[in-house]
């Protein structure tokens, strides 16, 4: 049966500015792939990421360049060889997963041989702000199960101490987004451990993390920007304890599932993360959530308005609508 592929860009506004070490977002631009066979339609959303040299225009060009292959019946496995990992491949891959699921009458979980995570809990993120502002946000999140704290180089321990005082019970992730160096890491890791920080995500710039091979951190370290696909696994051994799997880095759920298995086989613990996007981008990532120690899929929490039928997130607990948005 022939296919038709349609690609377009959308802009979704945020409730409030989202501040990380690299800058501030007030809206997010996404690309959407829709693939139909005349009866069923599959959709996928991706987030072009400037840090990886992507823009909405560049991703749309990538999508248009492979439209003929997709409409001719290209499989998800074939996509791995004709497209690089990244946002463009993610949009198509997720759309194909949903199309195949609808054609087969099965869920994506069934097709993937994956188990639905029971009552998954996502991190809720606190963006960078002054110490008092971040503590106030933490107080509002004190009943959540997991908080993720964005930091730069300023007042690291003082901010985490204030957040921990305001929210003594949730697990904590600290995420500097590559803004530290080994000297700062060495200076703060024991204090962060004493504050019961559960994980430190990508403290050093990707490509500059070789020094971690000789460093023992008191807080488990997670590779985010340093881990995109299975090819990166070998170079992370002895440097990191955990890897953060994001579909926009892997280029879709197909590679993400393979990366998860290879990482587990290599002894890594698993985090499932996201770029900020709507529930259409989060739903495919939930397929990876079973067995993950950390889930960070709070993109919809930041949306001024999410998609109809999107994920419901209450104090971090994720639930799907009676008629799931995707899959």
Give catalytic residue positions: 150, 246
Between CA 140 and CA 147 the distance in angstroms is 11
* Secondary element (H or E) of residue 78: helix 76-82
CB 100 within 8 A of CB 35: no
DSSP, res 324:
-
Q: How far is CA 94 from CA 64, 81, 203, 252, in A?
A: 16, 16, 30, 6
CA 167, 172, 178, 183: dihedral to nearest 10 degrees? 90
Nearest to 297 by CA among 133, 168, 173, 113: 173
Nearest to 321 by CA among 311, 298, 118: 311
Diameter over CA atoms, the chain: 61
């Amino acid at each position: 049966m022939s296919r038709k592929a349609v690609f377009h860009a959308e802009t979704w506004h945020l409730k409030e500015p989202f501040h990380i070490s690299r800058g501030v977002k007030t809206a997010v631009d996404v690309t959407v792939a829709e693939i139909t066979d005349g009866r069923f339609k599959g959709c996928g959303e991706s987030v072009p990421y400037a840090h990886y040299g992507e823009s909405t225009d560049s991703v749309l060009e990538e999508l248009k360049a492979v439209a003929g292959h997709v409409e001719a019946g290209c499989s998800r496995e074939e996509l791995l060889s004709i497209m690089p990992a990244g946002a463009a491949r993610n949009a198509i891959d997720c759309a194909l997963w949903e199309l195949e699921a609808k054609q087969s009458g099965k869920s994506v979980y069934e097709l993937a041989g994956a188990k639905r995570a029971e009552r998954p809990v996502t991190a809720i993120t606190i963006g960078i702000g002054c110490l008092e502002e971040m503590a106030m946000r933490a107080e509002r999140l004190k009943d959540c199960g997991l908080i993720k704290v964005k930091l730069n180089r300023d007042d690291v321990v003082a901010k985490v101490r204030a957040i921990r005082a305001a929210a003594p019970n949730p697990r904590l992730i600290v995420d500097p987004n590559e803004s530290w160096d080994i000297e700062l890491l060495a200076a703060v890791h024991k204090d962060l451990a004493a504050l019961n920080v559960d994980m430190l995500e990508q403290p050093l710039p990707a490509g500059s993390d070789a020094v971690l091979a000789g460093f023992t951190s008191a807080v488990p370290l997670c590779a985010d920007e340093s881990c995109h696909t299975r090819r990166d696994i070998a170079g992370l051994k002895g440097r990191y304890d955990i890897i953060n799997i994001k579909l926009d880095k892997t280029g879709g759920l197909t590679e993400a599932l393979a990366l998860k298995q290879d990482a587990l086989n290599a002894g890594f613990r698993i985090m499932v993360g996201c770029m900020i996007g709507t529930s259409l981008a989060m739903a495919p990532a939930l397929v990876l959530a079973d067995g993950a120690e950390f889930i960070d899929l709070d993109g919809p929490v930041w949306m001024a308005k999410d998609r109809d039928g999107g994920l419901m997130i209450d104090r971090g607990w994720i639930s799907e609508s009676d008629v799931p948005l995707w899959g």
